[in-house]
Structure 1
Amino acid sequence: MMTVFGEGRGFRVVWLLEEMGLAYRLRPVDLLAGVENDPEFLAINPAGFIPVIQDGDVTMVESIAIMEYLMARYGPTPLAPDPQDRAFPAYQQFLHLGEAGLAASVYFVVGARNFAPESERENWSAGQALSVFESRLTLVTRQLARTPYLAGETFTAADISVTYALELARRGGRVPLGEAERAYIARTSAREGYRRALEICQSTKAWFARTPMS
């Protein structure tokens, strides 16, 4: 059976697996306790970050790459439009924007605001990272003014990617989101696949319960 190591961005992978109806198990990884105390995990990913999947003899890291692998190997799936579909360019753009433009930048805001010394929580680098996030968020806002989902009328894996980033921003970074983004998260998080994933990812569920939404 496929194994997913770690939550965090691994929530994207678990959500995708639930949407696709694929069998897997989730193996927790406690980054706060220190991966140096988890030699089994370090043997799989010596870089020590999550998520990781093991699928037979395949080991992969990076949540978006894992998602693309799963959809290509176990598809076709409506979560990934065909390259000839008119929705494909927007799908491809927002699938990657969810990490490269949004989550990767707001990650440093979350770190500064939650773990840095008080005097460093609004430092220059955190401000720059927030500025990058906010500029990329304008692309999401513009798209949501046109269509209910980021690739058009239908939910895709791009929405999994971006929803995670927006949740990270408003819960972990306390970044206020606009009405369009909040309504969008309400739509995507109402899906059964999302709800099943949240029940599997108990650490994520507990984090959501203790963090207010901006």
Structure 2
Amino acid sequence: MITVFGEGRGFRVIWLLEEMRLAYRLRPVDLLAGVEKDTEFLAINPAGFIPAIQDGDVTMVESIAIMEYLMARYGPTPLAPAPHDPAFPAYQQFLHLGEAGLAASIYFVVGARNFAPESERQNWSADQALSVFESRLTLVTRQLARTPYLAGEVFTAADISVTYALELAQTSGGVRLGEVERSYMARTRAQEGYQRAMETCKSRKAWLAKALVE
């Protein structure tokens, strides 16, 4: 059975597994408490970040790489258009943009705005990271003005990737999303796989409920 270590970006992996109806188990990792004493997890990923998976003899980290591995290993799946499919270029672009352009930049904004000492919360680097996020977000907005999902008419793993980043920005990064993005997230979060993943990720569910109320 596939073991997923950690929620956070691991939610992308769990959502994908639910959409693909693959068996797995979630092994929680408490990053806020520190992982120094979590020897089982550090044996999987000595760098100490999440997510990570163990699938038989295979160990992997990095959420997008894990998603691509799972779809290639256990596919084919409509979540990943074939290379000859006209939807493939947009799918590939937004699958990676969801992390490289959106989540990776907003992560530093979240850290500065929520965890840094008060005097350091408004700093140049966090502002630069927010600027990067906002510039990449324009690509998402433009695409969603054309099609209901990022690769076209059909929900794909690119939507899992980007929805995670938009949720993070909205709930912890202080970003106000426009109507286009909010309507899009309503569609993606209506996916049954999303709902099942939320039931698995109890900590994330509680955190989102609190963040959206505030």
**TM more than 0.5:** yes
SS state at 1:37 partner: coil
4+ aligned runs moved over 4 Å, structure 1: none
Q: Which residue of 1 aligns with 2:165?
A: 165
Q: Which residue of 2 aligns with 1:66?
A: 66
Q: Which residue of 1 aligns with 2:49?
A: 49
In the TM superposition, 1:88-167 aligns within 5 A as 88-167=88-167
SS state at 1:127 partner: helix
Question: C-alpha offsets along residues 78-120 of structure 1, whole Å, 9 cap, x if unaligned?
Answer: 0000000000000000000000000000000000011001111
- Between the aligned partners of 1:81 and 1:213, the Cα distance in structure 2 is 36
SS state at 2:36 partner: helix
Identity across aligned pairs (percent)? Answer: 84
| Letter in structure 2 aligned against 1:150 | L
Deviation at residue 157 of structure 1 after TM alignment: 0.1
Question: C-alpha offsets along residues 46-78 of structure 1, whole Å, 9 cap, x if unaligned?
Answer: 100000000000000000000000000000000
| Letter in structure 1 aligned against 2:151 | A
Question: C-alpha offsets along residues 158-187 of structure 1, whole Å, 9 cap, x if unaligned?
Answer: 000000000000001121111100000000
Deviation at residue 209 of structure 1 after TM alignment: 1.2
Deviation at residue 213 of structure 1 after TM alignment: 7.0
Structure 1 stretch 170-179 or stretch 57-66: which is displaced more?
A: 170-179
Contact 1:174 1:213 in 2 (8 A): no
TM-score normalized with structure 2 length: 0.99
| Letter in structure 2 aligned against 1:181 | E
In the TM superposition, 1:172-183 aligns within 5 A as 172-183=172-183
Q: Which residue of 1 aligns with 2:210?
A: 210
SS state at 1:4 partner: strand
| Letter in structure 2 aligned against 1:115 | F
| Letter in structure 1 aligned against 2:71 | M
Contact 1:8 1:204 in 2 (8 A): yes
Segments of 5+ residues of structure 2 without an aligned counterpart are none
